[in-house]
Amino acid sequence: MAETEEFEERHDQSWEDRTLNLLQNSNIDLEIGSAKSRKKGKKHKVRWMKRPMAIPEVIIELQSTELREAALRCLSTFLLEKREEDPENYYRTGYLLYNSCSTMAILLQEVLAFYQMMEEDSLNVRACKRLANVLTLFQCIAANKETRLKFVSTSVPNFLLPIILFKAPLEVFENVQAVALSVIGILCQAGEPNIIQWAVENDMVELCWISIEFGNELSKVIGMHILEAILKDKSGIKYLCSETSEYLLRGLIRVWEHLVCLLAVDQEFSPRLLFHIVRCYVLLCSDERGLKMVSENLPKPITDGSFDNISEEFPIIGQLVNSPSSEIVLKFFSSVCGQRSDVQDLQGVFLEKDQYFVFGFDLNFWETTFYACHIKWMMHETHFTVFNGREDKGKCGDKNRCFYEILDTEIRFSQDGFNYITVQEW
């Protein structure tokens, strides 16, 4: 194909363009991308592809073994360009790829051929880039709402798991793994129940665990994206917080804790990774078992101010950790009810309607000071009035169970695992 050289220049673009930019609802990734701008080459236009029949013609060329590599590169370059400039054409191409004769079988053949090179230990940069082009086509199919579920039903995405789990010495291969993982992320991000169920049943949570623990930064962030999508689904969070999956949840929390501690030391490594970890903590708190697991294993750097500077540099992180919409985020508040050293660290208690929660205070400060906190939840109000340094009571005002906890200087309030709460001085 005469246009081959036109695509060589474009192929070495940022791997983030091939992965994270395809994932929706990632404000922190966009913010960090703009805050830490990189020099980019002139965008290379694929002008000749504007002809009406150009896309079908190139798709047909996939059937020729001699033209296939150039056709893959051509389609991949076109899709990366049109994703933002012309989303309608982007989704249309996904539909054509999935429904055109033999195309899915040909793309699967490319994956199987890559398997053979993995087995023979003969991987090279050219083969990795060729597979990356195939994965870009898979991304397009996964992004189209008309082909997404059909794509999953063919089990073709399952063939990407060995690639994601494989270890190879080539540096570029780690980025190809991130592209493969992003195909799973694009499938899951729409939150369709059938696809989340597929992800759970096909061990995608375990896959994310491995990617977050051992993958490069791109794979870690994409793995967190997938976990967020699963945790946002009712069946997904139910599965992850079930007794049978306790080992899995404990493993993830252990990995998150390790990463948070590393990020506290080297905060330049990946602020967006911190954002997604905290967001997963928040999502877990909507489940009773998840809340208990998080409260028992929350990393110390999250509560001791280690990330204050990051919150200033990237306000969206500060907005998350200061949001009053969740149990875990309330641990960031520093002066809701008294001074940090003045309140005993007590365990949370579940209360039935009209049942009281009794708490005590230490230090002489409380013996001479009157102080009050006001908690308003939905249409109900609860007042905690502290005086004479001994004890006071909080009453559950709802027909369903409430949860009260004083931990250091914070008061938390939730009902049946859902966290609709505002906390303010009174």
| pLDDT tens per residue across span 118-135 | 999 999 999 999 999 999
Point out the residues of the chain with pLDDT beneath 70: 1-17, 19-52, 305, 308, 310-426
Q: Which residue, of 203, 219, 240, is where some domain finishes? A: 240
Q: Is residue 296 part of a domain?
A: no
> What does the pLDDT read at residue 316?
62
Whether residue 307 contacts residue 369, with contact meaning beta carbons closer than 8 Å, is answered with no
Listed in sequence order, the residues at least 6 apart from 396 whose beta carbon sits closer than 8 Å to its beta carbon are: 351, 352, 353, 354, 355, 356, 357, 382, 402, 404
Output the pTM of the full model. Answer: 0.70
Where is the domain boundary, 240, 266, 291? Answer: 240
| CA geometry: angle 222, 223, 224, nearest 5 deg | 90
Q: What's the pLDDT at 395?
A: 43
Query: What is the model's pLDDT at position 285?
Result: 80
d(CA 83, CA 43): 14
| Run of H or E including 422 | strand 422-425
- pLDDT confidence of residue 342: 32
Domain total of the chain:
2
pLDDT tens digit sequence for 227-261? 999 999 999 999 999 999 999 999 999 999 999 99
Closest CA relative to residue 324, chosen from 426, 228, 419: 419
Tokens found for residue 4: 């081959």
Q: Give 34-50 pLDDT, tens digit per residue.
A: 554 443 434 444 444 55
Q: Which of 209, 225, 240 is the last residue of a domain?
A: 240
CATH of the domain at 37: 1.25.10.10
* Residue 43 domain-assigned (yes or no): yes
Q: Would residue 312 count as lying in a domain?
A: no
**So what's the pLDDT on residue 359?**
37
Structural domain harbouring 353? 336-425
CB-side neighbour CA atoms (13 Å) of 358: 2
pLDDT of residue 184: 97
pLDDT at residue 173, rounded to an integer: 94
| Tokens 């236009």 belong to residue | 45
N-term to C-term CA, the chain? 74
